[in-house]
Structures are given as structure tokens and as C-alpha cells.
Amino acid sequence: MTSFLIGWLAILPSYATPLLLASLGLILCERAGVLNLGPEGLMAVGAMTGAVTVLLGADPWLGIATGVGAAVLLSLVFGVAVVVFRVDQTLAGLGIVAIGLGVTGALGRPFVQQTFEGIGGFGAAGGGASGAERLLAHIDPVVCVALLLVAGLWWWLTRTRAGLRLRAVGEDPATADVAGVDVQATQLAAVVACGVLCGLAGAYLSVAASHVWVEGMVAGRGWIAVALVIFARWEPRRALLGAVIFGGADALVPRLQAIGAEVPTYLMMMLPYLLTLAVLVGASLAGRRAAAEPEHLGAVYLRQDKH
């Protein structure tokens, strides 16, 4: 049992970190009133671009950077569509998912299943490694950055003038506009920040967690991040708890397979998605205000709407 727990805890960061990064990006975006359903596509673009960059001979950290950059470009398409041209946010988000999955499937196909030397952890993962070394093997600089971001974003959103302005845009953009806040610029900046974090989540999957590119490797994690934001009530610290819970459920499957446990594998693989559905149903039953949803989330703001 001890060996099982150590093994499960060792791989937990690699499962929880992408969810945490993507959910933090969504919190920023949705706190500004922009509903973003596109993290699945953004993460896929980040994962593919990061892996291809490393496979072409670049440093893994450059792979992380290019993965982030590719996701930012795609998020800019979404941001311009919904903020500038006021396209329906739900449809635009679904379009970003389709574009992201389509582009990565077409451009990344020649690089599928090619392993590479990516970013490693702080410890050893071999059979002779101690429990502490096995735990550290899956903790890398990106994991540390994600943890720092939780505290940093909470402080920024609640303790700084810029964070309060962003929250004001999501709650009451008309009042924020009257107070001198540039609503469109704030929302576009939030969308770009979401692209940075979703791209980092995707690049982490390929460059740090698995060291390979596989088509479809995001495997619904973007959708789980959407539910995780609701679970977290749009609060960064609760997002960390949600990432551990959702990531821990996902990490159970390979650990049970590793010890040869006779469990229904496909049913176990459904567990994270069952949790996702449970969160969405619970939020629906609780109602809008109980879920702490930003008041203007998903709504289009026009300057003549001021009251």
C-alpha cells in the first residue's frame, strides 16, 4: 500500500499541473466576463508546437515558449472575434477547439510517437530510487511556477487595483466603463493571459510530462478545466484543490494498471469525466449566484448599454 501511495503521489503533479494552469487562465478570462470554451484547442496547439519544436532540435524550454506563443496566437483570434466583433462567445470557443484540434492533427501527424529529451524533474524515477526521489522526479520548474501562480493570481485579483478593475469588468462593465476602465482592452488582455496559461498547460503535457507528441493527447483536459473553474468558484486557491482532486482521479488509472489490480479499466478512465459532469450538474442545481459566477460572464457589452 505504501508503494502504491508513493507511486500515485509521484505522478500526481504531472496530471494536476496542466489542469491547474488551464483553470487559472480561465479564471482570469472569465473574471473579465469572457466565457472561454476553447482551452481544449489551445492546449492541443501548445502541446503539438512545443513537441515539434524540440523534435526539430531546439531546447525544451524553447519548446515551452513556442507552445505558449502558438496558443497565444490562437487565443488572439478568439479575443478579436468576441471582444472586437462581438461574436457569440460559446460558438467562438467551440470554433477554437475545432481549429486547434484540426491544425494539430494535420501539422503534427509526421511527428507522432517520436520521443525526445524534455524537461525533467528534480529527482530520479528509476527502480532503485527512494520514495523522496520518486516524488521529486515528477516535480519540475513548471510545477513550481504553477504553485506560485496560485498565490500570485489570488493576490493580484484581490489586492491590486488592476485586479479589482478586471473583476469589475466581469461584474458590471457599464460601471467600470464610467469609472474610466477600458473594457475591451481589459477583456482582450485577459483572453491573451488565458492563452498563455493554456498554452503552457499544453506544452507541459508534451515537453515535461510525457516527452512525446500524440494526436489527441490533451484527451478532454481542457473540458475538465472548464468544470474545475466552476468547482473552484472562480477562485485560484480553490482551483489548486480542484486540480489535485481531478488530477488524482485521472492518475489512479495508470497506478492501478501498474500493480495489476483487477479493476474495470475503462470505467476507471471515466472517473474524471464523471466528476466533471457532477460538478456541472451541481452548479446548475445550485444556481448562478450560489456558484459565484461573474455577473456579466458571457454577455456582450456595448457602450450604449451604460446605465
pLDDT tens digits for range 230-243: 989 999 999 999 99
Give the count of alpha carbons within 13 A of 259, CB side only. 15
If you average pLDDT over residues 74-89, what whole number do you get? 96
**Domain 2-294, CATH homologous superfamily name and number:** ABC transporter involved in vitamin B12 uptake, BtuC (1.10.3470.10)
What pLDDT does residue 129 have? 60
Give the count of alpha carbons within 13 A of 83, CB side only. 26
pLDDT bracket for residue 56 (50, 70, 90): very high
Q: Report whether pLDDT(158) > 80.
A: yes
Can you tell me the distance from the alpha carbon of 13 to that of 240, in angstroms, rounded to the nearest whole number?
Answer: 11
What pLDDT does residue 261 have? 65
Q: What is the pTM of this model?
A: 0.92
92-130 as b/e: b if 16+ CB within 10 A: bbebbbebbbebbeeebeebeeeebebbebebeeeeeee
Closest CA to 162 of 134, 198, 189, 125: 189
H helical segments located in 179-270: 183-203, 221-231, 236-258, 265-269
pLDDT bracket for residue 131 (50, 70, 90): low
CA 118 to each of CA 18, 48, 64: distance values in angstroms, whole numbers, following the listed order: 16, 13, 10
Q: Report whether pLDDT(191) > 70.
A: yes
What pLDDT does residue 265 have? 62
Q: Where are the domains of the chain?
A: 2-294
For every residue of 136-184, DSSP letters joined together read HHT--HHHHHHHHHHHHHHHHHHHSHHHHHHHHHHH-HHHHHHTT--HH
Closest CA to 296 of 306, 286, 282: 306
Can you tell me the distance from the alpha carbon of 279 to that of 103, in angstroms, rounded to the nearest whole number?
Answer: 30
If you average pLDDT over residues 56-73, what whole number do you get? 97
If you average pLDDT over residues 49-58, what whole number do you get? 97
Indicate the helix (H) or strand (E) that contains 31: helix 2-31
Number of CB atoms found within 10 A of residue 262's CB? 6
What pLDDT does residue 27 have? 98
Q: Report whether pLDDT(28) > 70.
A: yes
- Angle between helices 236-258 and 2-31 in degrees, nearest 10: 140
